[in-house]
A and B are shown apart, each in its own frame.
Chain A
Amino acid sequence: MAGRKALSIKTIVAIGIGSALFVILGRFGSIPSGIPNTNIETTYALLALFALLYGPAAGLLIGLIGHTLKDAILYGSPWFSWVIASAIAGLIIGLLTRTIAIHDGEFGKKEIIRFNLAQIAANAVAWFIAAPLLDIAIYAEPANKVFTQGLIAGAANMVAAGVIGTLLAIAYAKTRTKQGSLTKEA
């Protein structure tokens, strides 16, 4: 769908709507994980799903724009290191899942594994490496603090993308499958 031109109209609209969803889910869609001060952010399930659906450019820009807008509207100021980490996560998931033809309803066991490997790799790079390093570089925060925070956030985002993102993708794929052999039952 995102197809030939990297920035088709559909990709542009998906970035806009995806970013708006990022803001709304960032605001209403965090669920307490049971561990103090750690929430499962459903917004990262959305990011993974939209990167899968609309490609790496959409993933990158939804992470960037969505996270910036979310921070700006809700907290008055973007936290740049994590904004960039979100963008990286979206980009990598989009890149690694480019060959999954989910719009044709293909999302079986093989694709589920591929999608999850992609999201785990992406979240690891973004939250275990990029976010803490940027925190140190930009804000000169203590290394053990930011790496611990990155570890927790990364793990939570993997759960969000792995559980919620996968289930959403399966459901979406089902709506795209051709319903060839349905018959009414008496």
Chain B
Amino acid sequence: MRATMLAYTNHDSGIHRLTGAAKLIFFAVWSVSAMITYDTRCLLVLFLFSLFAFKISKVQFQDYAFVLYLILIFFVLNHIAIFLFSPLEGVRIYGTRHDVVHIAGRYTLTWEQLFYQFNIALKYAVVIPMALLFLMTTDPSEFSASLNRVGFNYKIAYSVSLALRYIPDIQRDYENISFSAQARGIDISRKEKLPRRLKNIILILMPLILTSIERIDKISTAMELRGFGQKEKRTWYRARPFARNDYIAIGIIAGIAVLTAWITFYDGSRYYNIFK
């Protein structure tokens, strides 16, 4: 079970020692920057930077290997889909056309398309390592405090904490329910036809949802009795104060954001064009 879900890794590294709030701000601004820019030079620099961050985090390859495979499969499928749907998207964007090879019908491989898809690939390659890193170096216990610190309402921040708290419990419920359903002959695999499959999944969801609704009532009663939500503010047992490195990290990301935005837009286009 455990090996198929991403989880916090408890190593001691500069990245782990940063507060959750600093990492959250860094990750959010980083993602937005990477989303905005299509400038190949920026993306390359960001990519190298994320590899460097990965290296100093001491996170082990086996901690995320399985996710990487999933991502790669998705990645390849998505690229094939882009090409199938729009083989000349690159030509449209860059305004020139240099053919590599004609495949069949409307499908011609062009340098522009290759470059365009290379940029898309690079965009993923910039965001994904940082997302992985954020997930694997942020203690879930600190996460809600961080959300609250960066400005989210503490009640909403706490609902994230509740989600993380109860995911394992609900997974256990789901397994038990689905086992006993299977024992009564309820099958949701491809062996059954679609209408039957839909009907059968309802038989599993029904007890899961109804017991979850009951659970919501129980938990909210318990939280009510323990004084949740009475005050305007809330403190956090596992919050951590900002240290020097946190300010440095936020400084770095601010610099990166300004630079990428400037480089990307100063010539009036999101795209870095090597064909003109």
Contact = CB atoms under 8 A, between A and B. Distances in A.
Interface stretch (B10-18, B40-48, B78-86, B246-254): B78-86
A84 to B, nearest CB: 12
Given A139-B35, A164-B198, A46 B209 contact: yes
Contacts of B131: 72, 76-78
A10 B229 CA distance: 11
Nearest to A58: B159
Given A19-B159, A175-B210, A9 B229 contact: yes
B31 interface: yes
Given A10-B220, A75-B74, A164-B202, A24 B174 contact: yes
A8 B228 CA distance: 10
Nearest to A169: B209
Interface in B160-174: 160-167, 169-171, 174
Interface stretch (A31-39, A85-93, A113-121): A31-39
Interface string A54-91: 00000001000110010011111110100000000000
Given A7-B155, A75-B74, A171-B210, A16 B229 contact: no
Contact of A12 (B82, B197, B209, B229): B229
B159 A20 contact: no
Interface stretch (A104-112, A122-130, A141-149): A141-149
A20 B31 CA distance: 24
A103 B35 CA distance: 42
A95 interface: no
Interface string B37-81: 010000000000000000000000000100110110010010001
Interface residues of B, number: 69
Interface in B100-134: 120, 123-124, 127-128, 131-132
Contact of A61 (B5, B159, B213, B224): B159
B86 A142 contact: yes
B123 A139 contact: yes
A10 B215 CA distance: 11
Contacts of B68: 76
A23 interface: yes
B209 A73 contact: no
Given A61-B156, A73-B6, A142 B198 contact: no
A77 B162 contact: no
Given A144-B85, A175-B210, A80 B135 contact: no
B223 A16 contact: no
Contacts of B132: 76-77
B124 to A, nearest CB: 8
A15 interface: yes
B149 interface: no
A164 B201 contact: yes
B128 A20 contact: no
B128 A12 contact: no
Given A21-B170, A76-B131, 9 more contacts: A12-B229, A16-B165, A20-B170, A31-B188, A31-B201, A46-B205, A139-B120, A140-B270, A168-B209
Interface of A: 7-10, 12-17, 19-21, 23-25, 28-29, 31-34, 37, 40, 42, 45-46, 49, 53, 61, 65-66, 69, 72-78, 80, 138-145, 148-149, 163-164, 167-168, 171-172, 175
16 contacts: A9-B220, A12-B156, A13-B162, A16-B159, A16-B163, A31-B201, A73-B6, A75-B74, A76-B70, A76-B71, A142-B85, A145-B85, A145-B86, A164-B202, A164-B205, A168-B206
